[in-house]
Amino acid sequence: MLDAAVESEVLADAVRLACRAPSLHNSQPWRWVADRGRLDLFLDSTRAVHGDRSAREALISCGAVLDHLRVAMAAAGWTTEVERFPDSQRPEHLASLGFTASDRVTDVQRYRANAILMRRTDRLPFLAPSNWEPFEALLRSSVDDPVRLCVVADEVRPSIAEASQLSEALRLYDSSYHAELNWWTAAFEVSDGIPQSALVSAAESDRVDIARTFPVTSNRERRIEVGDDHSKIVLLSTATDDPKDALACGEALSTVLLECTMVGLATCPVTHLTEVPAGRAMLTALVGGDDLPQILIRVGGTPVLEPTPEPTPRRPLADVLDLKG
């Protein structure tokens, strides 16, 4: 039986932590409603990025915040039971959540919740990840149907880089896309979007072969000792673009990012290839299979003594959580 005694303060703290989840351009397209010890998650269509017309990436973002919420509640001593898409008449109602008190909180659950705070989207070049083979096996075991995880073979990477460059070239004269990108990376303090501190310089960008081209900064060049990017490329895919598959993909994304963070690996989600039909088709042909590529993740190491970057901003809790009771 679900326990409705979870306090509103616990739910608010969990939502605050969950909202550290990544989203396209840090758009944070989610809305939570708390009522009598339960939570409901909604897609906030007013936060959808114009270039994401189908809201597929917004749903992936919401899947990530949903999984982050489960992690946060587990660390607070609660098991989460999720009903996805509970109302067929309201497709924006993504999940209804109830909670049962746990017998205990494990160290691993605490470490995973702490990983939410430690994770950053890192756009700089990476070192090759150490002890990759056993960790790759762990990642594969952590992702279930309907999401499939594969690691791009090293010999295929140059072709993926070509697809990345093609996807960018096809948008070279798309003024709406570039205007929106500039808006989300504006150089003023806000509670969403990508701050200048999280962007890279032109020289740094040239050393990462699979990445979206953001407006460059005048930062001094960092990680010179790393050279070019040596990350592993993880691909998450699904059989369809159905909203349920997109939401599940976001939940898997959260799992992968937190598992990487827990072992000290840096990550960077990459989605520009899957936003352009030609880029997505090339990616499908290169990795094989019939699934639809949803999101790439660069995974790698960083210099040991490098300081942790400041966290990117998040919207005020009052803007994303409605506490009804």
pLDDT for 220 beyond 90: no
**Tens digit of each residue's pLDDT (9 = 90 or more) over 117-162:** 999 999 999 999 999 999 999 999 999 999 999 999 999 999 999 9
Strand order in the sheet with 78-84: 78-84, 93-101, 38-43, 30-35, 321-323
Can you give the length of the chain in residues? 325
* pLDDT the model gives residue 50: 83
Contact 143, 245 (CB under 8 A): no
225-234: average pLDDT: 97
Q: What percent of the chain has pLDDT over 90?
A: 89
3-state secondary structure of 137: helix
273-309 pLDDT tens trace: 999 999 999 999 999 888 999 999 999 999 998 988 8
Q: At what angle do helices 157-169 and 277-287 cross, to 10 degrees?
A: 170
Q: How far apart are CA 33 and CA 136, in angstroms?
A: 36
Q: How far apart are CA 65 and CA 63, in angstroms?
A: 6
Q: Please report which residue ranges of the chain form alpha helices under DSSP H.
A: 8-18, 56-75, 107-118, 132-142, 157-169, 175-184, 202-206, 243-262, 272-275, 277-287, 317-320
Distance CA 183, CA 178 (A): 9
pLDDT band at 325 (very low <50, low <70, confident <90, very high): low
In order of their start, the domains of the chain are: 8-119+312-323 (3.40.109.10), 132-300 (3.40.109.10)
